[in-house]
Amino acid sequence: MGIMFISLFLSLGFLISLGILNMGEAMGDTSPAMAKALDKLRPIKEQIGFWGVIYGLISLFATLISFVSPISFLIGLFGSLFIVVLSLPYGFVKFKKFFTIENPVILEEVESIISKVTSKQKILGAVSLGIAAALFLTAFGGGRY
C-alpha cells in the first residue's frame, strides 16, 4: 500500500507541475500566485522533464499490470501518458545529451510530438490539471470507482 501512495503523490506532483508549466508558458502574464509557482518551476524544468519521462514510462507499465478498477485504471493510464507527453518538450534536450539517438525517424517523430505539444500547451496543461484532480478524487474520494 505504501508504494501505491508514493506513486500517487509522484503522479500528482508531475501532473500538477507540468500543467502549471504548460499553462504558464502559454498564457504569458498570469496571476501573482501562478507567477510565483512558475518562478520556482522554471529553473528546474529540464530535470522535471527528464525524470517525468522516466517516471511516466515506469508508471505506464506499472498501471498496465496493476488493474484495480476500470475507472482508476483509465485515469492512471491517461495520467501516465500525459506525464510522458508533457515531459518530452522539457526533457528531450537532456535525453539527447545522455543518449545518442542515431535513427532519424525516431528523432523526427519525437520532434513532431514536441511541436504538437508546444502548440497546444494551454489545453494540455488544463487537461493535465483535470487528470490530477480526477486521480486525487479516485484515490481519496471515499468510494471504489
Q: What is the pLDDT of residues 48-74, one digit of tens each?
A: 999 999 999 999 988 888 767 788 888
Query: Is position 43 within any domain?
Result: yes
Type of residue numbered 63: T
Residue 121 in grid coordinates: 500547451
Query: Is position 41 within any domain?
Result: yes
Q: What is the pLDDT of residue 7?
A: 85
Query: Is position 17 within any domain?
Result: yes
Cβ atoms within 10 Å, residue 68: 13
Q: What is the pLDDT of residue 48?
A: 93
Residue 32 in grid coordinates: 501573482
pLDDT band for position 107 (cuts 50, 70, 90): confident
d(CA 45, CA 66): 30
How deeply is 109 buried, as exposed, middle or buried, from its count of CB atoms within 10 A (0-12, 13-18, 19+)?
A: exposed
Query: Which value, to the nearest 10 degrees, does the dihedral of the CA atoms of residues 76, 90, 113, 4 take?
Result: -10
Query: Is position 46 within any domain?
Result: yes
Per the structure, how many domains does the chain have? 1
Query: Is position 145 within any domain?
Result: no
Where in the sequence is the domain holding 24, given as residue range(s)? Answer: 2-140
Task: Report pTM.
Answer: 0.85
Query: Is position 65 within any domain?
Result: yes
Q: Is the pLDDT of residue 15 over 60?
A: yes
Cβ atoms within 10 Å, residue 117: 18
